[in-house]
Amino acid sequence: MSEYILETFGLTKQYGSFTAVRDVNLHVEKKDIYGFVGKNGAGKSTCMKMISGLSHPTAGQISMFGCRGSEKELNQKGAFARVGALIESPAFYPNLSGYDNVELIAKGIGGVTKKDIDETLEIVGLTQAAKRKTKGYSFGMKQRLGIGIALLTHPEFLILDEPINGLDPQGIAEIRELVHRLVDEKNVSVMISSHILGELEKIAKRIGIIHKGKLLCEFNKEDFLREHNGSIVLETPDAKKAIDYVREQPGSGYVVNEERQIIISNCQLPMGSLIRELVLRDVYIHRITEKQLSLEQYYFELTNG
């Protein structure tokens, strides 16, 4: 059985001649908070719809809870029944209360008790507002109510598509706290998407970056921050010589950004020793500085480069 609660194999979605998602291989672990990052139109929602069974893949397979197969096979094995999803903005009947909206959807799902509804509203912090009409809810309250509906069936895996977009700082903090409680107290694995990396950075344990339908990379946040601590930014007209030297250093890596700066990571040499070695190789140094490479910088370098 796979160690991942979700794994995809060459997941692809085409609309006519347009390929929205191409050959995506995702890996979400148990009790993970997986941040799925990409610009608007990068393919985040399309991937999430396929993973939650709302859209049929053109090619590729999905494995959830150790069950691998087609959409039909996963449905037959009950995999999708163990998933809760909030894809895009939730819609409610504005003249019905929060409780009545949830109850209406619960009847459509079937098998959901009053106790389930009450517990769900408590989890998302809406018990006190349950009898109020949703037209009086703030945007953040509506987002939490949407998450509550996704939690009605006690899912093991929760998929949240852009739940923090449009929220004020208070609303974002509430969603962040809710996600952490679900993972820590309910053992739920969460996949959460956004084009705002700065906010996902505060929530996610692991991050996947998608761009123009292609998954560029996946990594553990803590590993990334440790590996990119004290990156060196080098500006030189002798880029090839500098890069050739960096490649010789065990464990060192580099990227070149839009300003043609060479960002060196995991360099084992102190700054002074690096400068000396570069000068000995006739590398003219215009400027060299040491700094932390943030997730946001790395994201922009990947997607712009």
Lookup result for tokens 């959901």: 112
Q: Is 251 left (phi over 0), alpha (psi -120 to 50) or beta?
A: left
Give the global pTM.
0.79
DSSP 134: G
Asked: is 228-304 a CATH 3.30.70.100 domain? The reply is yes
The residues near 283 (Cβ < 8 Å, ≥ 6 apart) are 236, 238, 241, 242, 245
Cα 210 to Cα 5: distance, rounded to the nearest angstrom: 20
SS3 220: strand
What is the per-residue pLDDT for 37? 94
User: Which part of the chain has CATH 3.30.70.100?
Assistant: 228-304
From 3.50.50.60, 3.40.50.300, 1.10.4010.10, 3.40.50.150, which CATH number describes the 4-219 domain?
3.40.50.300
The H or E element spanning position 191 is strand 189-194
Give me the phi and psi of 66, to 5 degrees please: 85, 0
Report the pLDDT value the prediction gives residue 255, as an integer from 0 to 100: 86
Distances (CA, A) of 178 to 98, 123, 271: 18, 8, 43
Assign residue 111 a region: left if phi > 0, alpha if psi is -120 to 50, beta otherwise? left
Residues 6+ apart with CB under 8 A from 47: 8, 11, 13, 21, 24, 26, 36, 210
CATH 3.40.50.300 residue ranges of the chain are 4-219
Return all residues near 65 (Cβ < 8 A) that are at least 6 apart: 5, 79, 82, 156, 157
Give pLDDT tens digits along the chain (305 positions): 457 999 999 999 999 999 999 999 999 999 999 999 999 899 999 999 999 999 999 999 999 999 998 888 898 889 999 999 999 778 899 999 999 999 999 999 888 999 999 999 999 999 999 999 999 999 999 999 999 999 999 999 999 999 988 888 888 899 999 999 999 999 999 999 988 888 888 899 999 999 999 999 999 998 887 776 677 889 999 999 999 999 998 888 888 887 788 988 778 788 889 999 999 999 999 999 887 777 888 888 888 75
Rounded to whole angstroms, the Cα distance separating 280 from 28 reads 46
Supply the pLDDT for residue 1.
43
pLDDT at 278: 93
Give me the residue label for tokens 């109510």.
145
